[in-house]
Structure formats: structure tokens, C-alpha cells
Amino acid sequence: MTRTPVNVTVTGAAGQIGYALLFRIASGHLLGADVPVKLRLLEIPQGLKAAEGTAMELDDCAFPLLRGIDISDDPNVAFDGANVALLVGARPRTKGMERGDLLEANGGIFKPQGAAINAHAADDIKVLVVGNPANTNALIAQAAAPDVPAERFTAMTRLDHNRAVSQLAQKTGTPVSEIRKLTIWGNHSATQYPDIFHAEVAGKNAAEAVGDQAWLADTFIPTVAKRGAAIIEARGASSAASAANAAIDHVHTWVNGTAAGDWTSMGIPSDGSYGVPEGLISSFPVTTKDGKYEIVQGLEINDFSRERIDASVRELSEEREAVRGLGLL
Ligand SMILES: NC(=O)c1ccc[n+]([C@@H]2O[C@H](COP(=O)([O-])OP(=O)(O)OC[C@H]3O[C@@H](n4cnc5c(N)ncnc54)[C@H](O)[C@@H]3O)[C@@H](O)[C@H]2O)c1
Ligand SMILES: O=C(O)C[C@H](O)C(=O)O
């Protein structure tokens, strides 16, 4: 039986991340090797021509799973019937800029997009916000979509998760495939907290395997938390291929499930777990199954972790207040 194609809307399709992302969606990495997709690309008017060029290249790949590409500068058209929405289009951070500086510039983009999702997306819509500041942009879009279940709006911390896995693998001389149960808590920003106290390296507790508190506090955490800025400094542009890869991982895991004995990190609306105020879109350890996620419960949080989780969550609360003040919530 031929499966109905899944409509995947990508905003900012002509940008750097878009260019790295679209080809992988079309080749089956987002949803699975047997799932046909239709791409709906949203750009601003100045980006339409470049999006058309990318669409020509997508055609030229003759991807068997790609069943159509529509391009629009109207969110009401681009989100019509969307099953998955990847909100990438935003203004990227440039050298010396903190993510907070972007709140006002990008807030205006996510409110109308949330409203268009509310009015036109399919009932099973799943939204991933990549554009920064991702957690608070997701909150803005969610607030503008009162008819969509709040938990369908998520923000990307999978890139941070993958960065942390890689750093830990390198430190312990272990393959990435042997690292499990790592957690990113809080905001996708320099305050995020990559937590290895419950992680495992080849089945052993990661903090014990590392056995080096100074490395954890002074090297690992800052390296992961400031990796985005380090990439901007080195490349002169923000991370693109690794961000696209993380977006693929986030949605693939959400739809297809986490492996037994492991979890992942997602920015999701808090239900109050671990003392994170309800409603903030904060990163948590989650397991996924049948297209739904659940926060991993019952983890013991030591003082070192508590302090860092609280600091990042405080920043999220401040961002929420700031966008409230701007009338975006
Ligand atoms: N969450 C993460 O881990 C993570 C990682 C890397 C980058 N990012 C963020 O992703 C975003 C995109 O990065 P990029 O490198 O692709 O930037 P880019 O500037 O190359 O591309 C952004 C694209 O978005 C388009 N755009 C702007 N406003 C739009 C709107 N209202 N509707 C549709 N399209 C719109 C632009 O025309 C442009 O083509 C940035 O905010 C960046 O900071 C997030
Ligand atoms: O840090 C940035 O501004 C880009 C992105 O969010 C990243 O983490 O690479």
C-alpha cells in the first residue's frame, strides 16, 4: 500500500541550516526510509529566489521519497496541512551578540507563524523551533496557537546534547555509541547545564568514569555551553550542518522513539517537574514512544546540578517576562 506523504514545513528554507536540512529530509532521514514527504518551504520575499534554486537542486536529486515541493512567503499557505513544522527562519546571532539581543528581532516572526499553525496545520502537527532564542521563540509560537496541544511545541537542545556526548566520548576514549543518558537542562544558551551525573559510559556512571570534577566544571560544561559561540568565531557563521543534523535527530527520535536504556534532551513545556516553573519551555531528559515524549522522573539532583539548573531556568523566566513586556505572549 502506498503511504500518504507527510507534509513537512520548513521556514528559513533558503538559509544555511535549510540548505543542510532539506536534502536529508527528502532522502528519508527525518521520518524513516519508507515515509514519503512533501516539502513546504517558507521564506521571506527576498529569500524566495534562493529557495527556488534549492528546490531545483532537490528535484535534481530524484529522491524517491520526495512527493512535491511548494514554496511560499505566506505562513498561512506554508503551514496548511503541515504534520511537522521546523521553524528555522530567524535572524542568526552574529559575533559579540548574546541570544537575548535577538528576542525582539525574532519575536515578531514567531507570533504570526504560531497563529498560522493554529489556523491551518494538521491535527497531529509537531513543531520544532530551531531559530534562536529557540526556547522562548517556541513559547511565543505556542502562545499564539491556543487550539494546538501545548506539548506539540518543542525547542532544539539536541545539538547541545550531541555536543556533550561527543566531548564526553573524547574525554573517556569511548565511542559515541557507548554514551547514554546524558541530559541538557534549561535554555539553549550559555547558561544551559549539560549533566553527566546520570550518564553512562560503556555502562558505568559517567561522572565516576571521568573522576575529574575540575574538568567537569572548568572544561566540559563551558565547552558545551559556549560551543555555538566558538563555531561562530571559527567559521564566521553559526553552526549549520550540525544544527541541521540535530533537527533531524530531534524529530526522528520524537516520532520513532528512544532506544531502550537511553534518553535524549528536548526543550519542552515544563509540567513543573524538577522545580522548573510550569509552562516554561526548558530542556529535560525525555524518553519517547509512539510519537509522544515523557520526562524521565525520579533523578536525584545534587547541589552542583541544582544550582546550574536553577540559573538556566531563571534566565528562561526572565526571557518570558521580557517577551510578555513586548506583548508577544
Ligand atoms: N537551536 C539550535 O541549536 C541552533 C543551532 C544553530 C543555529 N540556530 C539558529 O537557527 C536560525 C537559522 O540559522 P541559519 O544559519 O540557517 O540562518 P540564515 O540567516 O542562513 O538563514 C535564515 C533564513 O531565514 C529566513 N527568514 C527570516 N525571517 C523569516 C520568516 N519570517 N519566515 C521565513 N523565513 C525567514 C531568511 O531569509 C534566511 O534565508 C538562527 O536563529 C540560528 O541562531 C539554532
Ligand atoms: O550559538 C548560536 O548562536 C548558534 C546556535 O544556537 C548554536 O548553538 O550553534
Q: Relative to the alpha carbon of 106, which ligand is closest?
A: 1
Considering its fold, how many domains does the chain have in total?
A: 2
| Residue in 29, 161, 188, 198 annotated catalytic | 188
Query: Do 247 and 314 belong together in one domain?
Result: yes
What pLDDT digit, counting tens, does each position of 56-93 carry? Answer: 999 999 999 999 999 999 999 999 999 999 999 997 66
What pLDDT digit, counting tens, does each position of 141-172 carry? Answer: 999 999 999 999 999 999 999 999 999 999 99
pLDDT, residue 96, reads 73
pLDDT, residue 328, reads 87
Give the pLDDT band (50/70/90) at residue 326.
confident
Query: Do 134 and 180 belong together in one domain?
Result: no
pLDDT, residue 92, reads 65
What is the pTM for the complete model shown?
0.97
Question: Is residue 1 situated within a structural domain?
Answer: no
The answer to whether 102 and 90 are in contact (CB under 8 A) is yes
Which ipTM was obtained for this model? Answer: 0.99
The binding-site residues of ligand 2, defined as CB within 6 angstroms of any ligand atom, are 93, 132, 159, 228-229, 231, 238-239
* Domain that residue 42 falls in: 6-155
Query: Do 251 and 281 belong together in one domain?
Result: yes
Q: What is the CATH number of the domain that holds 290?
A: 3.90.110.10
Query: Do 119 and 106 belong together in one domain?
Result: yes
| DSSP E strands, the chain | 6-11, 37-42, 66-72, 84-87, 126-129, 153-155, 179-180, 183-185, 193-195, 200-201, 204-205, 264-269, 281-289, 292-295
Mean pLDDT value of segment 175-192:
98
Give the pLDDT band (50/70/90) at residue 273.
very high
The grid coordinates of residue 258 equal 528512544
Average predicted confidence (pLDDT) for the chain: 95
Mean pLDDT value of segment 265-286:
98
Q: Which of 126, 196, 145, 192 is nearest to 168 (CA)?
A: 196
Query: Do 287 and 259 belong together in one domain?
Result: yes
Q: Give the span between the Cα atoms of 158 and 247, in whole angstroms.
A: 7
120 carries an active-site annotation: no
Q: Give the span between the Cα atoms of 285 and 266, in whole angstroms.
A: 7
Mean pLDDT value of segment 49-59:
98
Q: Give the span between the Cα atoms of 156 and 129, in whole angstroms.
A: 6
The answer to whether 144 and 114 are in contact (CB under 8 A) is yes
99 is in an annotated binding site: yes
Query: Do 310 and 170 belong together in one domain?
Result: yes
> Ligand 2: which of 93, 161, 163 to mutate, most ligand atoms within 8 Å of CB?
93
Mean pLDDT value of segment 108-128:
97
**Chosen domain end from 94, 125, 155:** 155
- Interhelix angle for 16-26 vs 241-256, to 10°? 40
Query: Do 129 and 77 belong together in one domain?
Result: yes
